[in-house]
Structure 1
Amino acid sequence: MDWTQHLLVVPILLPLVTGAALLLVDETRHTLKATVSLASMLLLLGVAMKLMGMADGAPGGSGALSSSYAVANWPAPFAIVLVLDRLSALMLALAAVIALASLVFSLARWHRAGPHFHTLFQLLLMGLGGAFLTGDLFNLFVFFEVTLAASYGLLLHGSGVFRVRSGLHYISINLAASLLFLIGVSLIYGVTGTLNMADLAARLPAIPAEDRMLLQAGAAVLGIAFLVKAAMWPLGFWLPSAYMAAAAPIAAIFVVLTKVGVYALLRLSLLLFGSPAGELTGFGGTALLWGGIATLVFATSGVLASQAMGRLAGYSVLISSGTLLAAVGMGDATVVSGALFYLVSSTISTAAFFMLIELVERAREPGADLLAVTLEAYGEEGDGAKEHEDEEVGAAMPGALAVLGICFGCIALLLAGLPPLSGFIAKFAMLTGMLNLDGLGAPSEIPVRTWLLVALVILSGLAALVAMMRTGIRTFWAPLESIVPRVLVVEVAPILALLALCLAMTVGGGAMISYTDAAARSLHDPASYIQGVLGTGMTGSNVR
């Protein structure tokens, strides 16, 4: 057996072992902990890139499953199965890239702001890797909980009343979502007798008519749990404050956490309720479409109302979530392909924005946001009240503000979806699929709800552009007081690297679109996924 097939367990075992080992290191040895954590992160990124190459090179055509891994070699559906395909590989690589940038950024000061930062960070990565690779609903719940438990500690990392209050809100909401997750999983298991995703997909068409309502109830409850994490309106009011309160590198990696809910909905809606599901085909799709549209309306309003950059970034996350949820609800392979491109581009740009905010705010007069007219709506603490530590970081470099301004402008183009960066290609690919511009239909055949979604995607980009221009003018063009920011190379480098990656996605847009097209076709034709997973285990090898 090819040893590379065992790489499927590395995204789970590597951060688990690293996090456990770091617990044994004294908290005062910051350099040693940072070195071990960074080395592990680089190795994890290399493994993620290798897995992405394996998934893209899967034999058998665009719909082929790369491999499935049965832990302990038990046959599916009894095995704990890890599944690698183009979608899971893409999400793993995206998480590894953002995590590496966040970790490097944190080395300036944040990894010393509280205990066990690196252990919590590694456990978060373990949960993300397991959530993207698992082929079982119960194990998805387990990895969700690992991710959330680590995120609780990371969100509270640092100090400040605002951070603690927002963290407690975040914890309580996600605990409620976890309860819904468990209830939904229990209802589905009670009806079907299995939680293996492939086995569920194979059994659903044969579910008796008298049990379908209970199954749909379980799927709806489970979907609500995912939608809380994806922050769909009206379940996403917690996100702007929570992400704004988090330390900059933590907020950056939290952008990936929001996409876990989107990933789960995309995976399960097409696998369980795709065309082979019979009378259950398309279940929940309309709710996702209209929920995404409502989220876009809410988030667009929030972007225009935001006076602080932290809140602006939080509502930008909601715009991304609303766009992706609506695209998933449409159920079209071309739209999903563009949505996957958009998922990568928007996640990278928003993560870079969260890190940039901390550096830019060092060049502003403390409390400047309190002068904004609409700030009173957000409480006495104000939008900018993260209560950062008083520790000064970096050196005051005259050219730093120019570099930060260029980065800010690039992020504005990405969030607005304007050329020449990858945000434009992503939105163009989605809109092409929505308007059916490949010659398969006429504009008169396009539903009104699709036109509404197209308009909102364009308007949300315009709102982001207006908000970013307003903030940029206030920050870089006409500041109340000129302050030279203090920055370190280790803080600017991750931001520049993420923006360079977006530029690379623009130059290599054709290859990226080819990958997302293949991933979307595979999701809409899950036969290879089902056959590959159910044939795993008890064959003398634990890989198929």
Structure 2
Amino acid sequence: MTWLDHLVIVPILLPLFTGALLLMFDERRHQVKAAINIVSTICLGLVALTLLEMADTPTATNQAAASVYLLGNWPAPFGIVLVLDRLSALMLVLTALLALPALIYSLARWHKSGPHFHTLFQLLLMGLNGAFLTGDLFNLFVFFEVLLASSYGLMLHGSGQARVKAGLHYIVINLAASSLFLIGVAMIYGVTGTLNMADLALRVAAVPSSDRMLLDAGAGILGIAFLVKAGMWPLGFWLPTAYNAAAAPVAAIFAILSKVGIYVLMRLSPLLFGAGAGDSTGVGDNWLLVGGMVTMAFGIIGVLASQAKGRLAGYYILVSSGTLLAAIGMANAPTTAGALYYLVSSTLSVSAFFLLIELVDRVQDPAANVLAVTMDAYGDDMEEEEAEEEIGVAIPATLVILGICFASCGLLLAGLPPLSGFIGKFAILTAVFNPNGLTQGSTLSLASWVFAGLLVISGLAAMISITRSGIQTFWAPIEGRVPRVLLMEIAPVAFLLALCAGLTIYGGPVMTYMEQTAQSLHSPQTYIEGVMRAPRVLPPAAEVAP
């Protein structure tokens, strides 16, 4: 093995060691802990980009093979394996790209609002990276608990009754989901005798008919645990309140937590219940399709009804999750490719919006916001008299920058052309209307038409809500105040928006990567063979005595 082969485990070990190192420093040494955290996060990003290049490197068969790392040098399925392929590499890079802006933003004041912020942040990254790299269900549960335990501390980071109340609800719901996770894993192991994902894919088709119902039930219980995290209706009622109550940098990194459930479903659905699963082929696809569309409808209603910007962002996460769940339920590679592009774009956009919300809310105090809503309903006789006094007043540069960023987030969330949000939705719509090269005269199912309609309506709802919120914030006839915004607060927002712009400019190469990733997901033979045939590292030859 070369040193590059050991990079697969670095996204897990690096944040683990960094988090342990940060515990050795006193909490009053904020600058030292922040510097260590930033250096580690930057290195993690560089490693993720290197792994992305490794995962996208074709082999002699013109296919990118999965890189398998055997921990303890035990072969699969007996030992713990880490698997790097295009999908896991993509999620590693997305995690690193969200972590750095959220961390820099927190250095303005949030990292001092509670103990062990930097340690919890690194452990969260460890849990996320481990969940994306692991190749068996039990270690998926282990990393799932690591990221949840650290997210509990980050969710309660700071003070305030609303945050504590929402945080306790968040903890209880996720503890219940963890219990379901264990029950589902136990049932699957009892039927198949293995928890390695690749080995499971080989054994599912051979499960006897007498145990088939138990296997499907275990998969369903396991799926509920991930759907709770993904926020599918009616399991996602906790998400808007929790994300609205969290601190701004915490909510920004939490934008990818809901995508952990999406990732697992996107990984396991075609792997375990694809074309080679025998009688279990397609188990859960219809539930995901219908549940995703219902979640989209619920999120659209929440987006239109929300007055608080934080709840608006939380409901848009539900819209995003519903879109991705419905795309997974369509169970074809073109739709999955569009969903992957949409996943990256929506996650970056929502993360930028969470960071921006706190800055925009500084423009008006809560009393002014309530007065603005009241004036929209009942009018104000003083509006015309004050209009003349406001004419000719120069707009402060801070408000201009915040307004441009707010409008950019609105365009991205609404999916208007030519930005990345539009490209992702357009790719999904193209796949929905032409899933397998439909010929002229072919008909589409009712579910396809409903999904396409909800996807268009969700963009319209986001545009209406963002426009309404922007008018109340920047154009309301109330004396606002110019907020004090630091460079380290606005720079992360600009960085995330620049990444979305990069997705638009390099839409062709990115979409090609997504298409290749989707093809490998729906044709998992390369993944299975790579894991099951991964060779052990042979010990060095013993020295021969003279």
TM-score normalized with structure 1 length? 0.94
CA RMSD of aligned residues (A): 1.6
Larger relative CO (CA 8 A, sep 6+): 1 or 2?
1
1:378 is matched with none
The one-letter amino acid of 1:335's match is T
**Counterpart in 2 of 1:74?**
74
1:196 counterpart = 2:189: no
The one-character-per-residue Cα deviations of 1:378-423 (angstroms, maximum 9, x if unpaired) are xxxxxxxxxxxxxxxxxxx931111011011111111000012110
Q: 1:430 aligns with which of 428, 431, 439?
A: 428
User: Which stretch of the first structure deviates more once superposed, 432-441 or 482-491?
Assistant: 432-441
Q: In structure 2, what residue type is equivalent to 1:531?
A: E
1:213 aligns to 2:222 (yes or no) = no
1:480 partner letter: I
- Aligned position for 1:470: 468
1:512 aligns with 2:510: yes
The match for 1:277 is 277
Most deviating of 1-10 and 216-225? 1-10
TM-score of the superposed pair, with normalisation by structure 2: 0.93
Partner of 2:299: 299
Q: How does 1:178-189 map to 2 (within 5 A)?
A: 178-189=178-189
Maintained 8 Å contact 2:372/2:472: no
1:95-134 to structure 2, matched below 5 A, reads 95-134=95-134
Aligned residue in 2 for 1:532? 530
Q: 1:372 to 1:218 in 2, by over 3 A?
A: farther
Partner SS, residue 255 of structure 2: helix
Instruction: Report the equivalent of 1:315.
Output: 315
Unaligned runs of 5+ residues in structure 1 are: 375-396
Match of 2:387? none
* Distance in structure 1 (CA, Å) of the matches to 2:222 and 2:371: 43
The Cα of 1:65 is off from its aligned counterpart by 2.4
Q: Deviations over 1:177-219 (max 9, x none)?
A: 0000000000000000000000000111111010010000100
Partner Cα distance (1:281, 1:366) in 2: 53
Equivalent residue number for residue 499 of structure 1:
497
Deviation at 1:346, TM superposition (A): 0.1
- Residues 236-385 of structure 1: matches in 2 within 5 Å? 236-371=236-371
- Choose 1 or 2 for highest CA Rg: 2
Q: How much does 1:66 deviate?
A: 3.1
The residue identity in structure 1 corresponding to 2:407 is: G
Question: How far apart are the structure 2 equivalents of 1:127 and 1:362?
Answer: 33
Equivalence for 1:388: none
- In 2, the alpha carbon distance for the partners of 1:371 and 1:295 equals 33
For 1:479-494, what aligned pairs fall within 5 Å after superposition?
480-494=478-492
Structure 1 segments of 4+ aligned residues over 4 angstroms from their partners: 60-63, 371-374
User: 1:160 Cα shift?
Assistant: 0.1
| 1:365-444 alignment, distance < 5 Å | 365-371=365-371, 398-436=396-434, 439-442=437-440, 444=442
Tell me the distance in 2 between the aligned counterparts of 1:59 and 1:175.
43
* 1:477 Cα offset (Å): 1.6
1:486 alignment partner, SS class: coil
Hey, what's the Cα distance between the residues in 1 that align with 2:517 and 2:523? 10
Give 1:64 deviation, angstroms.
3.4
Counterparts of 1:368 and 1:171 in 2: how far apart (Å)?
A: 34
Tell me which residue corresponds to 2:392. none
Q: In 2 relative to 1, CA 371–223 (structure 1 residues): closer, same or farther, beyond 3 Å?
A: farther
Residues in 2 aligned to 1:443 and 1:6: alpha-carbon distance in whole angstroms = 53
Q: Is this contact kept in 2: 1:289–1:327, CA < 8 A?
A: yes
Give the 3 Å change call, closer, same or farther, for CA 408–61 of structure 1 in structure 2: farther
* Distance in 2, Cα, partners of 1:248 & 1:357: 8
**Deviation of residue 259 (structure 1)?**
0.2
2:60 and 2:228 map into 1 onto residues whose CA distance is 37
Deviation at 1:276, TM superposition (A): 1.0
Where does residue 522 of structure 1 map in the other structure? 520
2: CA distance between counterparts of 1:155 and 1:60? 47
Helix, strand or coil at the partner of 1:256:
coil
CA contact (8 A) 2:52 2:90 kept: yes
Return the alpha-carbon distance in structure 1 between the equivalents of residues 465 and 259 of structure 2.
23
Q: CA deviation at 1:31?
A: 0.3
Q: Distance in 2 between matches of 1:294 and 1:338?
A: 20
Residue pair 1:63, 1:521 contacting (<8 A) in 2 also: no
How far the C-alpha of 1:368 sits from its partner, in A, is 3.9
CA distance in 2, matches of 1:540, 1:429: 46
Letter in 2 for 1:478: A
Distance (Å, rounded) in 1 between the aligned partners of 2:286 and 2:440: 22
1:379 aligns with none
Could you tell me how far apart the structure 2 residues matched to 1:69 and 1:334 are? 30
2:180 & 2:43 partners in 1: Cα distance?
A: 35
Superposition pairs for residues 28-67 of structure 1, below 5 Å?
28-60=28-60, 63-67=63-67
Residue 256 of structure 2: SS of its match in structure 1? helix
**1:20 and 2:20 aligned:** yes
Query: Counterparts of 2:61 and 2:30 in 1: how far apart (Å)?
Result: 48
Q: CA deviation at 1:538?
A: 2.9
Q: Which amino acid aligns with 1:476?
A: F
User: In the aligned structure 2, how far is the partner of 1:364 from the partner of 1:483?
Assistant: 6
In structure 1, the residue matched to 2:136 is 136
Q: Secondary structure at the match of 1:237?
A: coil
Deviation per CA, 1:408-466, whole angstroms, max 9, x where unpaired? Answer: 11111110000121101111111000000784334642101000000000000100000
Aligned length: 520
Distance in 2 (alpha carbons) for counterparts of 1:326 and 1:299: 14
3-state secondary structure, aligned to 1:294: helix
What secondary structure does 1:68 align onto?
strand
1:451 corresponds to: 449
- Higher alpha-carbon deviation: 429-438 or 299-308: 429-438
Instruction: Measure how far apart 1:480 and its partner are.
Output: 2.4
How far, CA to CA, are the matches of 1:25 and 1:185 in structure 2? 39
Q: Aligned letter for 2:516?
A: A
Deviations 1:334-377 (A, max 9, x none): 00000000000000000000000000001112334445879xxx
Structure 2 residues without counterparts, runs of 5 or longer: 375-394, 541-546
Q: Distance in 1 between matches of 2:441 and 2:429?
A: 13
The answer to whether the 8 A contact 1:91-1:132 is kept is: yes
The 2-side partners of 1:479 and 1:256 are apart by: 37
State the partner residue of 2:386. none
Distance 1:349 1:60, change over 3 A: farther
Corresponding residue for 2:230?
Answer: 230
Percent of aligned positions with the same letter in both sequences?
Answer: 62
Task: Give me the whole-angstrom Cα distance separating, in 2, the residues matched to 1:63 and 1:541.
Answer: 30
Q: 1:528 to 1:366 in 2, by over 3 A?
A: same
Deviation at 1:70, TM superposition (A): 0.5
- CA offset at residue 278 of structure 1? 1.4
SS at match of 2:50: helix
